[in-house]
Amino acid sequence: MYAGDFRAGSIFKDGHIFFQVVESQHIQQPRMAAFVRAKIKNLETGAVQERRFNTGDHFPDVSLTRKEFTFLYNEDNIFHFMEQETFEQVAVDQVLVVDAMKYNSEGVVFTFTFADDKLIAVNPPTFVIMEIIESPPSVAGDTARAALKNATLEGGLVIKVPMFVNTGDKVKVDTRTCSYVERA
């Protein structure tokens, strides 16, 4: 893969470390060679940095494999998951799953991404159905502008929801933007 081919979500290997492109911008200035300014995320540490690459910089191809797992339990900072097809159990460090576990509820299937047989990412499904455990009651006349209020979901996640949504309701949440989609 060449740096000129970077797109958001692309995964590449630099040295022995896997990176994911968060965003990239191809820049061509007069009388200068073109380059790519990219914001990249270290998939081992989670650190995000901005780097500049020449468009001709080459990185070795990465073989990606995706498998589906369900959450079983956790012990301290280790989370245990089971593969859907083979029932194989995998222990994962908290660093890799902390963002995805915000969307954990019963029946959620997580997608594990392996690069060269090494686990590099744990992703929740695009949409999840979650129950609201705490939401202030709506007050009549509170609709002067976009009527939204905070609601706490079963995993402790706090999102903005419309005024008509109440405690105990189930809502559909977009995990890419961490936002309310509709009532389920």
Q: Please state the domain extents for the chain.
A: 3-54, 64-123, 127-183
What are the helix and strand counts (H, E) for the chain? 1, 14
Give 64-123's CATH code, choosing from 2.60.34.10, 3.30.1280.10, 2.40.50.140, 3.40.640.10.
Answer: 2.40.50.140
Domain made up of 127-183: CATH architecture:
Beta Barrel (2.40)
Mean pLDDT score, 30-51: 88
Same fold across 64-123 and 127-183:
yes
pLDDT value for 8: 84
Contact call for residues 56 and 2 (beta carbons, < 8 A):
yes
Q: What is the pLDDT of residues 95-121, one digit of tens each?
A: 888 888 888 888 889 999 888 888 888
Write down the pTM of the prediction: 0.73
Q: What is the CATH number of domain 3-54?
A: 2.30.30.30
Q: What is the pLDDT of residues 136-148, one digit of tens each?
A: 887 766 556 667 8
Contact call for residues 158 and 152 (beta carbons, < 8 A):
yes
